[in-house]
Structure formats: structure tokens, C-alpha cells
Chains A and B, each alone.
Chain A
């Protein structure tokens, strides 16, 4: 079964850091680009970042550029999002999704609050 499972969310203070993980199974992870998408409570979807299959190309939304870093470990079938200098407006459910946005995880919640 093709599956993506996010983890690593939680409550963090403004200015803090968090690292999200996304574990992939059921497909050849190393062949696919991957994405992070977030959804603040009660609002719509926002693209956060994309990374190509080798991890050599990455792009970010302006709202997170310079603070968030995507990476991947193809040997571990895992995708990561390092989030630094977190702000209240980063509070959201964070999803990982395959490059075609056809497969999504269930999301992991990040809450930034003092």
C-alpha cells in the first residue's frame, strides 16, 4: 500500500525550531519529487516547499524561505522539513505529498505559541 506518514509536530514557542519527518512506503521513493503543504486551522491549502528526487533542487514559499529547509534521505525513504525561527503564523497542519500531489499523508500539527 502506498503510504506517507508525517511525524514530529507539536507545540513550540515563537522563535523555536522543529523538524518534521515524512516516512514513505509502498513505492520507489527515490524516483519521486516531494512536497510540503500546510493548512492553518479553518483555512485553505498553502504550498510550502518542493524537493526533487535527488534532493539537489529545492524551492520554497516566500513566507518560509530562509527559515525552513527541506531535505530527504532516499536510503531511509524519508522526507524532512527543518523549521527554524517559527512564528505564530506557521501554526498549521503540515502535509507531505508526492511530486504530483497525488498521494498525501494524514498531516502533523504544528502549534507556535508562548
Chain B
């Protein structure tokens, strides 16, 4: 099974900050990596697919990069609505696996 190690598990930041979240795969997943945002009581929302492609409707302050085993999600300038939990997901091979999540807090 492919393990996804996401870091940090939590992050304190302020409005306007630039933040980066990392996911490392235990083996290569090519660019079969997606990023999700989840707010309390809500379903996850897809932000990034194919490691670096921005989902339609998602603000351009979100960006993704990486391939193989190391991936990053960057938020260039945090907005109040960005405080949430973020997850990566590899869909290269079964069983699909999520990272443990990063809780982004003020």
C-alpha cells in the first residue's frame, strides 16, 4: 500500500501569510495526486487535481506542484475563508490513500 505522509499536521498562520503543505508518498504516484479542503460539518472540496491543475472556481491563490513522491499545496496569501483542514489523496493505485490532514488555524 502507498502511504501518504502529510506535514505539518497543524499550522498556525495569519491572514495574508503564504503557507505550504507537503505530502510525501512512500512510492511514486506520478501526478495522480489531488488536494482537498474540508471545513467543519462539510464535505471535502477538491482544490487541485493531477498534482497541479486548479479546479474550476477555486481561487488562483491556491497552487499545487510536484510529481513522483513529493507534492506541495501552496496558498499564496491566506484569506479568512481558507482556515480549514487540507488533505492530499493519491489515486495512482488501490488502495487509494489520503494524507492525515493539515489543520490550518489562525
A residues neighboring B (CB under 8 Å)? 35, 44-47, 50, 59-62, 95, 100-102, 104-107
Q: Number of B interface residues at 8 Å Cβ cutoff, please give it.
A: 21
- Sample (5) of A-B pairs whose CB atoms are under 8 Å apart: A44-B99, A46-B98, A47-B97, A62-B95, A101-B91
B residues neighboring A (CB under 8 Å)? 1, 34, 36, 38, 43-46, 49, 55, 87, 89, 91, 94-101
Give chain B residues whose Cβ lies under 8 Å from the Cβ of A61. Answer: 95
Asked whether, in the complex, the Cβ of B95 is within 8 Å of the Cβ of A102, the reply is no
Give chain B residues whose Cβ lies under 8 Å from the Cβ of A101. Answer: 34, 36, 44, 46, 89, 91
Asked whether, in the complex, the Cβ of B101 is within 8 Å of the Cβ of A95, the reply is no
CA distance A106 to B45 in the complex (A): 11
B22 to chain A, nearest CB (A): 16
Asked whether, in the complex, the Cβ of A100 is within 8 Å of the Cβ of B49, the reply is yes
A22 to chain B, nearest CB (A): 12
